[in-house]
Amino acid sequence: MPQLYKRFSLSRREWGHALFLILNGLIKKVIVSDYIAVNFVDRIFSNPEFFSGFENLLGIYGYGLQIYCDFSGYTDIAIGVALMLGFRLPLNFNSPYKARNLTDFWRRWHISLSRWLKDYLYIPLGGSRKGKIRTLMNLLITMLLGGLWHGAAWRFVLWGGLHGIGLALHKVWNHIIPGRRSVDSVLTRFFSVFLTFNFVTFCWLFFRAESIEKIGTIFSRIQYGFWPGNVIEMLLSYSSVLVTISAGYILHFLPVRVKESYRGLFIRMPVVVKMVVVYLVGIILYNMQTIDIQPFIYFRF
């Protein structure tokens, strides 16, 4: 709010950063999220019974990337446009799939919502001030209400409940093994990220599926209709989509120093070079856009 009363100011570096955020957000939304949604993910979730278990499983991982690129892309665009208007908004996504546990995930994913849930639900309920059992109950209630906020459906309640249980279990784990931080090997970090990523991705199934019945169908196809013999045929049929999904996840998991290096390179470019980059990205976006307009996922909430 105090920024509303400050005189407008925007440095050349900030303008370059704002332009980078807008381009980055458009690339995430149009080239990655919309493309894999229209050409793969939406088909799987609309009629999971028509696809093998392997395709259903890849559809879940595809949606994990789709919702991240859709929502973080929308956020990047919003923050970039706001910066061009002179408003400095805080970071809202911080490579969430790099999280080493569920608590860390919610410090990285939709940070504004996480802070809102903490300040207006978790802390008023008592937070961690009223004993260990009450703390676990407060976490569960907060996440159940956070799930219900997305829609009055059991699948959203289940999504929030699973995250609440996961957060509570992480609290218990921290209490049982307080010295866990002393063991911080590369292998430990890898498995921590791997387990957290797969749990979060599994939970997205309840967030995306159209009904509880569809969730049951997807589980059934994965369990009984995996059909390993059709994997090669499927990889060839959806090669461009799978390359896009793979590239999206690789870019997400790049070290921070690599991302900062190409962001800094763009910011330091002369204005003429920036405009050339904008023009080239615009051409790519125009050719990659889908026939039907794909609204941002979070606009429905």
| Residue 273 identity | V
In the structure encoding, which two tokens stand for residue 185, read together? 């090997």
Task: Kindly tell me the burial class for residue 48, based on how many C-beta atoms sit within 10 Å of its own C-beta (0-12, 13-18, 19 or more).
Answer: buried
Q: What amino acid positions are annotated as catalytic residues?
A: 150
Residue 261 falls in which region: left (phi positive, over 0), alpha (psi -120 to 50) or beta: alpha
For 110: left if phi > 0, alpha if psi spans -120 to 50, otherwise beta; the answer is left
Question: 229 to each of 49, 51, 226, 238, how far by Cα in Å?
Answer: 18, 14, 9, 16
DSSP 214: H
Q: What is the Cα–Cα distance from 125 to 28, expressed in whole angstroms?
A: 37
The residue to which tokens 């957290």 are assigned? 196
Token pair of 140, please? 């569960």
Q: Which amino acid is at 171?
A: K
User: What CA–CA distance (Å, rounded) separates 140 from 151?
Assistant: 17
Q: What is the torsional sign of CA 243, 244, 250, 253? A: negative
Name which of 77, 60, 68 is nearest 96 in CA terms: 68
The upper half-sphere exposure of residue 95, i.e. CA atoms within 13 Å in the direction of its Cβ, equals 15
d(CA 284, CA 256): 26
